[in-house]
Amino acid sequence: MIDALSPLSRRLIAVSLLLLALITILNLVVVPLWQWNSDNLDDLALARTRLARMQAIMAAQEPAKGDPVPATAMVVAGTRDAASATLTAAVQASAARAQITPLAVAPVPPLGRQAGKIAIDISASGPETNLVELLADIESSSPAIRLERWSVVAGDTPDLPAHLEARAVALWSARP
């Protein structure tokens, strides 16, 4: 069958097959090698950037220590129990200002390495607006008291009081 083709046609077929073989080799060998090399160069550049950053961090001076927490921002008491009592009194004063009664407050035992932190659990019922006012008053009081978690659940009926569950935390120091 190939004998029936002219010499020009045979040359054209041979050149076409050669081009097809070159394109196949290019797609199967050269392009994947090129991409692999490119990925490796990107990884190398990233590693060099990380190394330079780590060396800069190691060469940098240690940052200066920050200012200590002011004594007005923490509960200063001789013992943990006294600090919890101070925190409880501050929360009860906030409750009185928000006109929330009765208020159940229970100290939380220290967990792990939280030596400078005291916490109390708060439980109260009352009008929802008064409970929100209580939360705002607790966080704006001095010493600095923050709410670690809180939830206000209001009933479906407007006449029923809402219920508050919260945990207040503050910093504690035995000395100012």
Q: What is the pLDDT of residues 6-19, one digit of tens each?
A: 888 889 999 999 99
d(Cα 172, Cα 40) in Å, to the nearest integer?
A: 53
Helix (H) or strand (E) holding 146: strand 145-153
pLDDT tens, position by position, 100-134: 877 788 888 877 666 688 999 999 998 888 899 99
Which of these three, 11, 33, 59, is where a domain ends?
Answer: 59
Asked whether 164 and 121 are in contact (CB, 8 A), the reply is no
Residues 105, 139, single domain; the answer is yes
Domain assignment present for residue 89? The answer is yes
Q: Which domain holds residue 76?
A: 71-173
pTM for the structure as a whole: 0.59
More confident residue, 129 or 63: 129
CATH label of the domain that carries residue 167: 3.30.70.60
Residue range 59-88: average pLDDT? 83
**pLDDT for residue 20 is more than 90:** yes
Q: What is the mean pLDDT of the chain?
A: 87
Q: Which residue has tokens 């409880």?
A: 88
Domain assignment present for residue 66? The answer is no
Query: Which pairing describes strands 162-173 and 145-153: parallel, antiparallel, or unpaired?
Result: antiparallel
Other Cβ atoms less than 10 A from the Cβ of 164: the count is 23
Residues 81, 165, single domain; the answer is yes
pLDDT tens, position by position, 28-52: 988 898 899 999 999 999 999 999 9
Query: Which pairing describes strands 117-126 and 75-76: parallel, antiparallel, or unpaired?
Result: unpaired
Asked whether 83 and 142 are in contact (CB, 8 A), the reply is no
Burial of 100 (C-beta count, 10 Å sphere; 0-12/13-18/19+): buried
- The confidence band for 1, taking pLDDT boundaries of 50, 70 and 90, is low
Residues 83, 117, single domain; the answer is yes
d(Cα 76, Cα 87) in Å, to the nearest integer?
A: 10
User: What size, in residues, is the chain?
Assistant: 176
**pLDDT for residue 89 is more than 70:** yes
Residues 53, 76, single domain; the answer is no
Domain assignment present for residue 119? The answer is yes
- The confidence band for 67, taking pLDDT boundaries of 50, 70 and 90, is low
**pLDDT for residue 176 is more than 60:** no
